[in-house]
A = this chain, B = another copy of it.
Amino acid sequence: MRPRNLEKEAAIRTMALQIIADEGLENLSMQKLAKAANVSPRTIYIKYENKEDFLVKLFIEEVLETYEQAIVKNFSPDMDFAEGMKKTWLNAFQYLKNNKPAFALIRYGKSSPLLNKAYQQKGIKQGDYFSPIHYFLKRNIDAGIIKDFPQDVLRALLYPPLLELVSEYFDYEERPEQIITEDVILQCCEVVTKGILK
């Protein structure tokens, strides 16, 4: 038996994310990807059944799961509400601003029917995707600290502004007047937090 070359596997995923970030998902082809990763097209098909399978695994394993871990680093569901919000917001901001290609694919996750379906199925499978956050929100609802909305609705209120701010961070990237600083992120986190408090 011959063992898999893990470096090549990593190169394939890294190059795929880069192409998606630079040219868009609609311009990622398997041949372009193979060439960019310095690999034969066949090599990709050893691990992945087809293009859809590759994209779904790239999205779920390489992006969502990594993002999930980054968000809850040093976070505990027992934290004070404002404290927990700050922690998750800063974690997400740091991760995303340093992983532009991952961020690009996350945005596609809300657009592409394929990725969106994969995302929903994963959510259903695990019961709960970001479960420490689920517990965190539930605890604060039960304690009467924040308003009582379904989990989905709560997340829609608490996190999408951050993703939009990250988009703006990249829009202003390399321009001297960068307005999306960590400080602005913290102020925005306070705004969002204030809104949901009872």
Measured CB to CB, the residues of A under 8 A from B are 21-26, 104, 107-108, 110-114, 120, 147, 149-150, 152-153, 155-157, 160-161, 163-165, 167-168, 171, 179-180, 184, 187-188, 191-196
B111 near A107: Cβ-Cβ < 8 Å: yes
Whole-angstrom CA separation of A114 from B184 in the bound complex: 28
The copy count of this chain in the complex is 2
Q: Which residue of B lies closest to A188 (CB)?
A: B157
- What distance in Å separates the Cβ of A30 from its nearest Cβ neighbour in chain B? 13
List 12 A–B pairs whose Cβ atoms lie within 8 Å, in order of A's numbering. A22-B113, A23-B113, A24-B113, A26-B112, A108-B111, A147-B191, A152-B179, A156-B167, A157-B191, A160-B161, A161-B161, A194-B194
Residue of B whose beta carbon sits closest to that of A179:
B150
Task: Across the interface, name the chain B residue whose C-beta is closest to A194.
Answer: B195
Chain B residue contacts of A120, Cβ below 8 A: 171
Central interface residue in A108, A111, A113, A153, by most chain B CB within 10 Å: A111
Give CA–CA (A131, B187) in the complex, Å: 25
Q: How far is the CB of A97 from chain B (nearest CB, A)?
A: 15
A81 to chain B, nearest CB (A): 14
**Of listed A23, A113, A147, residue having the most chain B CB within 10 A:** A113
Give complex CA distance A150, B169 in Å: 13
Chain B residues within an 8 Å CB radius of A194 = 194-195
B157, B165, B167, B193: which contacts A192 (Cβ < 8 A)?
B157
User: What distance in Å separates the Cβ of A164 from its nearest Cβ neighbour in chain B?
Assistant: 4
Q: Is the CB of B179 within 8 A of A25?
A: no
Known contacts A191-B147, A194-B194; A184/B112 CB under 8 A: no
